[in-house]
Amino acid sequence: MDETKKPTLLQPRELIGDLGLGVVGDGVTIGALIARRRQRVDAQRIVLRRGQRLFGEDAQHAGVQRYQLQAAPRISGLSLGGCFFHAHIFGARIFDIHALILAQSSRQRGDTVTPMQLTPLTGTFGADVRGVDLSAADDTCLDALRAALDEHHVLAVRDQNLEIDTFEAMARRLGAFGETPFITAIDGHPDVLRVLREAHESGPLFGSGWHSDWSFQQRPPSATLLYAVEVPESGGDTAFANGQAAYDALSPAMQDMLGGLNAVHSARRSYGPSGTFGRNDPDAGMDIHGGEEALATQLHPLVRTHAATGRKSLFVNEVYTIGLEGMSRNESAPLLRFLFEHVTQVAFTCRVRWEPGTLTIWDNRVVQHFAIDDYTGHRREMLRITLAGEQPR
Ligand SMILES: O=C(O)CCC(=O)C(=O)O
């Protein structure tokens, strides 16, 4: 790098009102990134630097290959043209740049809010989120959260302190609520479920099978929010499998074939009269009441296109997908078995280990999930809200 252009490193507290992208911390500059190529850069080492244009000469020099500006600019005096972006430098994704912009926003308000920090859970998807209080989040923060969900598909937002009312209020700001069939909601909160297993229970565990929430509905929920009130010290994790990564890994020939198929979804295996939860168990912590209406079927494209990102994913799951349109059971069963196993292979999964106060948000259009039944003798209590979704296409 030309010495005359070498950026002066600034301390974060000097950055109020500054524009542009720079890098501080342990002496790392954009120029130095060139030498350290595939290194992942974290939020603490990327800050806004006075007088440097965002994707100007320095950024090109550093080999920025791709970036997305997401969410509307809301921060006065910030000329980035957006308040959230992801950049790749030599293929290494830089996370959390938005967090610094949020940090500037909170400085402008005079608060001392810690920037939101995202830490990937795996090499493919899922992220831990820290440094954000969702009960007091502003619109910029929620925009950043939505964008992060599109990017990571599963967000485990740590250290929240939500009551039913505050949980409901923050969820409502993310979108309209979906419809909840078969399970009695919390009194006075028709859209909030208590996902509860008492220590003495030994019956089937709610959610313990790979599924995408309510995929048998005409418009299945876009996202689910699950908030941990009480969790066992160990066990009771939730596993997720990524239908986009699974789709991308298929051969073009297989993708073409699947792209023309519709899958048949139904709640019957879980909530039909002879399904897992077909008969109400008065001793269970959750009031689940199946019935004849669970026998209904709903067709959805087997490969769906995400309404926000345009990416394709396999939209099948072993709990609710019962067949393929126009095929006999003998024809569809082996193909579905292959797909169920393909999507849920370890390389396409991540796992959230809960702590009290963790709020996990997942995108049902991309991932399916599985509540792991390994904590018999311990109590686990969660609050759950689904957000309304569109008809899959
Ligand atoms: O309890 C869990 O970990 C997941 C529950 C579940 O499957 C759901 O809320 O859809």
59: pLDDT confidence band, cut at 50, 70 and 90?
very low
Confidence category of residue 38, pLDDT binned at 50, 70, 90: very low
Task: Give the domain-ending residue among 48, 83, 112.
Answer: 112
Contacts of residue 133, defined as CB under 8 A and 6 or more positions apart, other chains included, come to 113, 160, 161
Q: What span, in angstroms and rounded, lies between the C-alpha atoms of 99 and 308?
A: 21
Do residues 141 and 176 lie in contact, with contact meaning Cβ atoms separated by under 8 Å? no
Helix (H, G, I), strand (E, B) or coil at 287: coil
Is 384 assigned a catalytic role? yes
Q: How far apart are CA 177 and CA 185, in angstroms?
A: 13
For 336, phi and psi rounded to 5 degrees?
-65, -40
Question: Look-up: residue for tokens 């030498």?
Answer: 35
Contact criterion met (CB below 8 Å) for 20 and 52: yes
Phi-psi label, residue 77: left if phi above 0, alpha if psi -120 to 50, beta otherwise:
left
Please tell me the total count of domains within the chain: 2
Ligand 1 contact, 384 CB (< 6 A): yes
List Cα–Cα distances, 74 to 56, 67, 102, 106, in angstroms: 22, 19, 10, 12
380 DSSP β-pair partners: 197
How many Å apart are CA 109 and CA 191, to the nearest integer? 33
Cα separations in angstroms, 127 against 150, 236, 312, 361, 383: 11, 18, 20, 10, 20
Residue 76 in any domain: the answer is yes
Task: Tell me the C-alpha distance between 80 and 101, whole Å.
Answer: 9
Task: Identify whether 117 is part of a domain.
Answer: no
From the CA of 371, give the closest atom in ligand 1. Answer: 3
**Between 65 and 137, whose confidence is greater?**
137
- Specify the CATH number for the domain of residue 221: 3.60.130.10
Per-residue confidence (pLDDT) for residue 116, from 0 to 100:
82
Please indicate, yes or no, whether residues 243 and 104 belong to a single structural domain of this protein. no
Average pLDDT over residues 93-102: 35
Q: 43 with 99: CB under 8 angstroms?
A: yes
Q: Which range is least confidently modeled, 19-23, 190-194, 207-211?
A: 19-23
168 and 106 part of one domain? no
Tell me the three state secondary structure of residue 53: coil
Angle, CA of 302, 308 and 309, to the nearest 5°: 75
| Within-domain flag for 129 | no
Look-up: residue for tokens 């972006």? 85
Could you tell me if 231 and 297 lie in one domain? yes
Query: How large is the average pLDDT for residues 274-301?
Result: 94
Query: Ligand 1 atom 1: the closest Cα is on which residue?
Result: 371
Given a cut of 90, whether residue 353 has pLDDT beyond it is yes
367 in ligand 1 pocket by Cβ < 6 Å? no
Per this entry, what is the length of the chain?
393
Checking if the pLDDT of 251 tops 80, the result is yes
Instruction: Say whether both 187 and 313 belong to one domain.
Output: yes
Query: Measuring CA to CA, which residue among 100, 58, 66, 64 is closest to residue 83?
Result: 100
Retrieve residue 186's tokens.
């919390």
Cα-based angle 248, 253, 255 (whole degrees, multiple of 5): 40
* Domain presence at residue 152: no
Is 42 domain-assigned?
yes
DSSP bridge pairs for 387: 177, 223
Expressed in angstroms, the distance from the first to the final Cα of the chain is 48
Provide the sign of the torsion angle of the four alpha carbons 201, 202, 204, 206, taken in this order. Answer: positive
SS percent in the chain: helix, strand, coil, step 5? 25, 25, 50
Tell me, yes or no, whether 107 and 191 share the same domain: no
> Known catalytic residue: 342?
no
Say yes or no: 263 and 336 in one domain: yes
Q: Look at strands 349-352 and 262-266 and give their pairing.
A: unpaired
- Whether residue 371 has pLDDT greater than 60: yes
Q: Output the CA 41–ligand 1 centroid distance in Å.
A: 33
User: pTM above 0.85?
Assistant: no
Range of the domain at 40: 3-112
Tell how far the Cα of 118 is from the centroid of ligand 1, in angstroms. Answer: 23
Give the lowest-confidence range in 153-167, 217-231, 276-290, 352-366: 276-290
380 lines ligand 1 (CB under 6 A): no
Determine which one of 86, 211, 268, 269 is catalytic: 211
The predicted pLDDT at position 329 comes to 97
State the pLDDT at residue 327: 98
285 pocket-lining for ligand 1 (C-beta < 6 Å): no
Residue 219 appears among annotated catalytic residues: no
Over the stretch 121-167, which tens digit does the pLDDT of each residue have?
999 999 999 999 999 988 888 989 999 999 999 999 999 999 999 99
